[in-house]
Structure 1
Amino acid sequence: MQKKRGIAIDMLIYWIIAAAVVVFVIISYIWYSGSLGNMGSYLKDWLRFGK
């Protein structure tokens, strides 16, 4: 039982890291490519508001 729980937690951590990397890449792509226009400025405003 203890071993299974540890593996599950490790899997969860790997999924969270993978999701964070994907989100970071998508945001970076939107941020640096001006071609998405409104979406990019909306994200910039949201990030600025978040900070």
Structure 2
Amino acid sequence: MHYNLHYEVTKEVSRIVTLSLLRLYENHKDDERIFPNNELKEIEDKQED
């Protein structure tokens, strides 16, 4: 599922949303129901190289 949403927000709101999404990802990155086939894990591994 993919959503492409665009809103005008302040930098503070953007920062809060970004941090919240990163925290959610960190807590659930190994959950196959959310990230099937660990596609994001593969992306992370490439970035570390």
- Normalised by the size of structure 1, how large is the TM-score? 0.46
Higher helix fraction: Structure 1 or Structure 2? 1
Larger Rg computed on CA atoms: 1
- Normalised by the size of structure 2, how large is the TM-score? 0.47
